[in-house]
Chains A and B, each alone.
Chain A
Amino acid sequence: MTDWARRAHPFTPGAVMLALVAAAVIAPAPNGSVIVYSVTIMLAIITGAGRGVWLGILVSAPLWLLLFVMHGILGEGPRAPFIGGGTLAVEGMRWAIGQGARLAAIVTASLAFATVFDPHRFLQAAIDRGWPWPLAFLVVATLDAAERFAGQARRLREAQRTRGLKVHGSLLTRARAIPALAFPLMLAALTEADEHTLALETRGLTRRGRRTALDPPADTPLDRLTRWIALLAVMLLLTWRISA
């Protein structure tokens, strides 16, 4: 199971991620949100996407701190004792925990999915299923654009360093280097995008018509079962919330 998320059919981790995000939105706070966040952490760890949990904590921590200060310390209403002789707003803390867990579940599910997502396998799967090509390519091209942008930034920074621009060192030195990089980076990205568009056109990437998946990922019974369970779980949760 430790690398199941990477080996699974690319649609399966996506379906699970969407189900967890939906559950985090639907489940009642704070208990429901905490349960969904716990399930998200557990699933990420046992399927080999544990890095997403740590990234999720890093991203969510400032938000948790803000919610704690705004609603726990500065909140109004009945108060309960807190360490050091201070007090916390009870309702504010319930709200902060509920919303904090909800947002953390969404962030963690998304990041866990991002760490195991393979755009090339996704593209093969999308072609195999006959998905609209522009939609499938848009997903991959967006991720590829980020990678290209990073590559262009690295090349420009290297070129500037070889001319003597200091981009390391104190915070001030680094801050001074940002404008020197930002504008040329945008210009280069736009120019290269033009040339890359031309290249993609010649390779048939905008051509209409059926394509062939060269190496489509296997869609196992476990994959299909997992996707159905994810869908069913969300439907049940939604039904319960509407009827409750």
Chain B
Amino acid sequence: MISLGTGNLRFSWPAQERWALDGITLQFAPGELTWLHGSLGAGTSTLLLALAGLAPRITGGTREGEVLLSRVDPTDSTPLDLGVGYLGPSPTLQLSGIARTVHDEIAVGPMNLGWPRQRILAAVADAMQRVGISALADRAPDLLSGGETQRVLLAALLAAEPQLLLLDEPFSALDRAGREQLSALLRELADSGLMVVVACDDADTMSLSANRLVVLEQGRVALDGPPAELLGGDGLMQTGASATDAATLAALAGWAEPRPLTAVAVLSECRPAPEPLQPEFRSGKDESPPNFETTTLSFSGVTFGYPGQPAVLRDLSLILAQGRSYALLGANGAGKSTLLRLAMALEHPSAGTIHTIGRPTVGLGPEDLAPTVGFLFQQPERQLFASSVRAEAALAPTLAGWDQRRTADAVAAVLEQLSLTALADEHPWDLPLPLRRLVALASVLVTSPKLLLLDEPTAALDGRSRDLVIAAVRSAAESGATVLAVTHDAIFAHEALDRAILVEAGTAIESGPLADTLESAGLSPTASLTVARELRVSDWISRRCEVAIMLSGIRHQRY
């Protein structure tokens, strides 16, 4: 039976003086689903690498103390030989590059283990079925969406029949159904005797499946215990790690610990029911019908497919009204990212027409739409190219011909807005992934575009970074920009955006107020929305800060 433990483990990255892990002593047990949690820089990803034996053997750096995996140091062998499955945070970089199909990609591990062919085929089929990707078997791995890639990689780990799973942000690109399915699968794997350790910032998903929560703070273990006990407490808040949506709402309302972890629990503790807020408390969520006389983006009968592939979008039509913010919702692989690429003239439809900011995109390239249109790619951290954060943010205004003064003012403002001022002289590639993503967003927001096209702007962000993105996007929308954001993050959608477009199988099937569309898109309503609805206040007053104001008048009572 596998065993895993660390003793006074310390690790520092190359050329860094600070210990990323500083005296960690933990024991993990088979059958346990451990959730590693912490704010930015807490060391959760580094700990996973050390447990897998990849740090410092592959990453470089200095390690002190010990890691023992079944009584051996994992740095002395390869993860596959030790029965370890490790999944990193950037899915597309995890593909082997030697497989032509998803089936072959999943077979890479067993193939390298030298298993008999029949055993490999059975293991691959079983892994695909468990993760629900059998339909993708013949697809090319490099043409999958982010969420599909994440599922394929998980299946690839499972096919090698590991005893220990180490997963870094495994839910980041998954839709709601995918998250629930993976969460249940991880629980099932742990129950079957596997040791599972997950570093993740999605408290709502992990709180349902994990039976142990380890919170790190600046490389040290700050809390260790059952999630149900720790998530609603002040200790977690003090580390800066995010709690569940409902616990965050309760904390914002000033409720003392232990706070409820779900919306249902919040409601059960609301006695008597709060008074609905007066309309003057409305913070800007606009549920009035949009005025389509002034459109910012329109698709009319658009069909598009990548060369040699089936059509991704089919006869799709939609209109975005000026000054409105839209969530683009739908399952993985529905064609959402492709829709954004078409809107930015990075691709052109095979049929139908697209008008962006009043211009037909035929014959245009993205450079013709910038900086009036801002575009944030999926995994934007791979698309940074300046030598400092400040220079990165200044690129678009400079290319647009802004003078130095105006550029400097705009850059200073956007860096301040996203809390990046202190990092202005850092090289973007030296920053951790969430901060790189914020830098990419800053470089898009800096010119105050009239149309913002955002692809998963909160994926793999920690709670604080996500709050910054929510505030920035809301601020842009309130300044009159039209926003279209692909997202699987119900909290971001609900807090930052006001309408939704649902895409299914390449066609826009529904468009309407966000609160009504979340559930059609398979997303769970946020805690604040659930509470607002149950208390029969208007959907206009349903954002977290508004509902928190309502709840703050209710004395916290347990029944």
Q: How far is it, in angstroms, between the C-alpha of A202 and the C-alpha of B51 when the chains are bound?
A: 12
CB distance from B26 to the nearest CB of A (A): 21
Cβ B395 vs Cβ A202 within 8 A: no
Interface of A is mostly: helix
Count chain B CB atoms within 10 A of each CB in A123, A192, A199, A213 and give the residue with the most: A199
Cβ B88 vs Cβ A199 within 8 A: yes
User: A163 at interface (Cβ–Cβ under 8 A)?
Assistant: yes
Cβ B86 vs Cβ A162 within 8 A: no
Cβ A165 vs Cβ B382 within 8 A: no
Nearest residue (CB) in B for A209 is B114
Bitwise, A196-226 to B at CB < 8 A (1) or not (0) is 1111111111110111111100000000000
Q: How far is it, in angstroms, between the C-alpha of A82 and the C-alpha of B412 when the chains are bound?
A: 72
CB distance from B124 to the nearest CB of A (A): 9
Bitwise, B148-160 to A at CB < 8 A (1) or not (0) is 0000000010001
Query: Which of the segments B105-113, B312-320, B488-496 contacts the partner chain?
Result: B105-113
Known: A161-B366, A211-B112, A214-B120. A180 touches B96 (CB 8 A): no
Q: How far is it, in angstroms, between the C-alpha of A191 and the C-alpha of B395 when the chains are bound?
A: 22
Cβ B367 vs Cβ A164 within 8 A: yes
Known: A203-B96, A211-B114. A188 touches B366 (CB 8 A): no
Chain A residue numbers with a CB within 8 Å of B156 are: 203
Q: How far is it, in angstroms, between the C-alpha of A141 and the C-alpha of B96 when the chains are bound?
A: 9
User: B178 at interface (Cβ–Cβ under 8 A)?
Assistant: no
Interface residues of A in 166-184 (CB under 8 A from B): 166-168, 180-181, 183-184
Q: Name B95's contact: one of A159, A199, A215 (CB within 8 Å).
A: A199
Known: A191-B429, A198-B58. A161 touches B365 (CB 8 A): yes
Cβ B99 vs Cβ A120 within 8 A: yes
Q: How far is it, in angstroms, between the C-alpha of A203 and the C-alpha of B54 when the chains are bound?
A: 12
Nearest residue (CB) in A for B157 is A202
User: B400 at interface (Cβ–Cβ under 8 A)?
Assistant: yes
Cβ B104 vs Cβ A214 within 8 A: yes
Q: Name A195's contact: one of B93, B121, B160, B366 (CB within 8 Å).
A: B93
Q: How far is it, in angstroms, between the C-alpha of A180 and the C-alpha of B111 when the chains are bound?
A: 41
Cβ B383 vs Cβ A161 within 8 A: no
Q: Name A210's contact: one of B80, B114, B121, B369 (CB within 8 Å).
A: B114
Cβ A202 vs Cβ B85 within 8 A: yes
Cβ A164 vs Cβ B58 within 8 A: no
Cβ A206 vs Cβ B78 within 8 A: yes
Bitwise, B39-82 to A at CB < 8 A (1) or not (0) is 00000000001001010001100000000000000000011110
Cβ B52 vs Cβ A202 within 8 A: yes
Cβ A205 vs Cβ B112 within 8 A: yes
Query: Size class of A's contact patch?
Result: 35 or more
Nearest residue (CB) in A for B104 is A214
Nearest residue (CB) in A for B440 is A159
Chain A residue numbers with a CB within 8 Å of B98 are: 119-120, 123, 137, 140-141, 144, 205
Cβ B59 vs Cβ A214 within 8 A: no
Nearest residue (CB) in A for B429 is A191
Count chain B CB atoms within 10 A of each CB in A152, A201, A203 and give the residue with the most: A203
User: B171 at interface (Cβ–Cβ under 8 A)?
Assistant: no
User: B371 at interface (Cβ–Cβ under 8 A)?
Assistant: yes
User: A160 at interface (Cβ–Cβ under 8 A)?
Assistant: yes
User: B370 at interface (Cβ–Cβ under 8 A)?
Assistant: yes
Q: How far is it, in angstroms, between the C-alpha of A181 and the C-alpha of B384 when the chains are bound?
A: 11
Interface residues of B in 117-156 (CB under 8 A from A): 117, 120-121, 142, 156
Nearest residue (CB) in A for B52 is A202
Cβ A212 vs Cβ B367 within 8 A: no
Q: How far is it, in angstroms, between the C-alpha of A209 and the C-alpha of B110 when the chains are bound?
A: 12
Known: A168-B365, A187-B429, A204-B109. A162 touches B385 (CB 8 A): no
Known: A184-B385, A187-B429, A188-B382. A144 touches B97 (CB 8 A): yes
Q: How far is it, in angstroms, between the C-alpha of A211 and the C-alpha of B59 when the chains are bound?
A: 26
Count chain A CB atoms within 10 A of each CB in B86, B97, B369 and give the residue with the most: B97
Cβ B54 vs Cβ A201 within 8 A: yes
CB distance from B223 to the nearest CB of A (A): 29
CB distance from A6 to the nearest CB of B (A): 14
User: A148 at interface (Cβ–Cβ under 8 A)?
Assistant: yes
Q: Name A180's contact: one of B100, B116, B365, B385 (CB within 8 Å).
A: B385
Cβ B385 vs Cβ A207 within 8 A: no
30 A–B contacts, CB within 8 A, in A order: A119-B98, A120-B100, A140-B97, A147-B97, A152-B382, A156-B383, A158-B366, A158-B377, A161-B367, A162-B367, A162-B369, A162-B377, A163-B395, A164-B367, A164-B399, A164-B400, A181-B385, A184-B384, A187-B429, A198-B88, A199-B93, A201-B79, A202-B84, A203-B109, A203-B156, A204-B78, A207-B112, A209-B114, A211-B114, A214-B120
Please give me the 6 A-B residue pairs with the lowest Cβ-Cβ distance, nearest first. Answer: A184-B385, A159-B383, A204-B112, A204-B80, A164-B370, A164-B399
A-side residues, CB < 8 A to B, are 119-120, 123, 127, 137, 140-141, 144, 147-148, 151-152, 155-156, 158-168, 180-181, 183-184, 187-188, 191-192, 194-207, 209-215
